[in-house]
Amino acid sequence: MIPVNPDRFLADLHELRAIGASGIGKGVVRPAFSRADIEARQWLGARMAQAGLLVEIDPVGSVWGLAQAEKSLLIGSHSDTQPEGGWLDGALGVIAGLEIARASIEAGGPPVSAVSFQDEEGRFGVTTGSTIWSGGLSLETADDLTDRDMISFAQARGAMAHLVTGPFVDPARFSGFLEMHIEQGPWLDQAGEAAAVVSDIVGIRDMRITFEGQQNHAGTTPMHLRRDAFQALGAFNARLAERLRNVVTPQTVWTIGHVNLSPNAHSVVPGKAVFSMQWRDGDAARLARMEEIIRETASEIAQEHGMGLGYSSMLGLEPVPMDAAMRAALEAAATEHAAGRWRNLQSGALHDAANLSRLMPVGMLFVPSIDGISHAFEEDTRDEDLTRGLHILAGAASRIAPKGGQAARS
């Protein structure tokens, strides 16, 4: 067993929280490459060095604390936050990695490395740092990405250029990746459970749909002659809910989160509605079946309402199953530390682990989010759930990390 120190772990979590603290509850404002984010990454590097890890900061600003071994188990997450973020989203997994790597060095335990990936929260896309590191995106292409203020990734990472220690870390150094994260959903909190071993990270399908009818005078156009694009959207939304009912599981979600009417005026029958259609599920076959239903329903509605119908290209992220051996290690540790109080759960959110699965076996552990709240200053988790999660993760690391002790760096 790696003898982690829960008090030190909580103290570090709170020290990290103070960097970029919003002053509202425990909230944090630490978006990627902000001054607070860079300061947090420097603080983390110093902590890793104190622990006896070899610190590297790669070209995109991901911070690594490397064990002195040919192969080590990598544990981490991200320390950047949403523009209005919580104190645990990402930070929890990073400090857990730091504590387990540190405790393992102290105890002469198995080799464990720690990492904080850059821009998981997607100032420049989605899980930018780990996507680049895992080969999902070239640095050259990424450099042209822009944030909503039209600042490029190249420009943003320039702010950390003086801290970069060298090229990207070689993935061959790692035997696998573990990530602990808050659930960001309500299941564990509502059930009063302590943890979840993630079975898979759901796949996502996302596209824009356009209904194009006839813009018209809202006073002189009788109801039965209207080709109202908003009414078509309403009919689509209602029929889709009906149709999906027999196909989905309680974990399946779908969302119309963006709607843009034209001309979007009180006195004009909307001639055009462009809206987002996003759906998530752990099963690729179900995602495909849902796509069929969505397209069939949209076609029917377009015909019935006299609409032109258009689709954007579809973004598709495949479901990522967690590695069986990683899951087994997490489940054994969960049974040891929270018998009868853990479950398996799909992750409805993306995580860095999804990218790393391209390179190595990955496993994920969730701890409860109070009221399921995340991406908000109110985000929180009870101390006992945080430390229990740490013990489970350390237990899994003990079971799965490469064998053999390690020497601390002198």
Residues that bind a second copy in the complex, under the rule CB under 8 A:
183-187, 202, 204, 206, 216-225, 228, 230-231, 233-234, 237-238, 248, 250-261, 264-270, 276, 278, 280, 347-350, 372, 374-375
Residue (155 or 264) nearer to a second copy, CB: 264
User: Two tokens at 222?
Assistant: 């009788």
Residue (103 or 240) nearer to a second copy, CB: 240
Do 372 and 69 meet the contact criterion of CB atoms below 8 Å apart?
Answer: no
Torsion of CA 275, 277, 278, 281, to 10 degrees: 170
Compute the least distance from the CB of residue 319 to a second copy, in Å: 12
Residue (12 or 179) nearer to a second copy, CB: 179
Compute the least distance from the CB of residue 7 to a second copy, in Å: 30
* Rg of the chain in Å (alpha carbons): 24
Residue (64 or 236) nearer to a second copy, CB: 236
Residue (188 or 392) nearer to a second copy, CB: 188
- β-partners of residue 345 are 198
**b/e 156-194 (16+ beta carbons within 10 angstroms → b):** bbeebeeeeeeeebeeebbbbbbbbbbbbbebbbeeebb
Residue (256 or 359) nearer to a second copy, CB: 256
Instruction: Report how far residue 58's alpha carbon sits from residue 166's, in angstroms, rounded to the nearest whole number.
Output: 6
Compute the least distance from the CB of residue 26 to a second copy, in Å: 18
Residue (145 or 248) nearer to a second copy, CB: 248
Compute the least distance from the CB of residue 138 to a second copy, in Å: 24
Instruction: Report how far residue 123's alpha carbon sits from residue 351's, in angstroms, rounded to the nearest whole number.
Output: 15
List Cα–Cα distances, 29 to 97, 372, 376, 379, in angstroms: 22, 20, 10, 13
Comparing C-alpha atoms, which of 52, 337, 300 is closest to residue 195? Answer: 337
Do 28 and 86 meet the contact criterion of CB atoms below 8 Å apart?
Answer: yes
Compute the least distance from the CB of residue 218 to a second copy, in Å: 4
Compute the least distance from the CB of residue 223 to a second copy, in Å: 6
Do 231 and 304 meet the contact criterion of CB atoms below 8 Å apart?
Answer: no
Residue (155 or 249) nearer to a second copy, CB: 249
Instruction: Report how far residue 201's alpha carbon sits from residue 346's, in angstroms, rounded to the nearest whole number.
Output: 6
List Cα–Cα distances, 154 to 57, 64, 151, in angstroms: 16, 21, 8
User: Two tokens at 164?
Assistant: 């970069």
Residue (206 or 336) nearer to a second copy, CB: 206
Instruction: Report how far residue 87's alpha carbon sits from residue 91's, in angstroms, rounded to the nearest whole number.
Output: 7
Compute the least distance from the CB of residue 71 to a second copy, in Å: 33
317 exposure class (CB count in 10 Å sphere: 0-12, 13-18, 19+)? middle
Compute the least distance from the CB of residue 206 to a second copy, in Å: 6
Compute the least distance from the CB of residue 74 to a second copy, in Å: 24
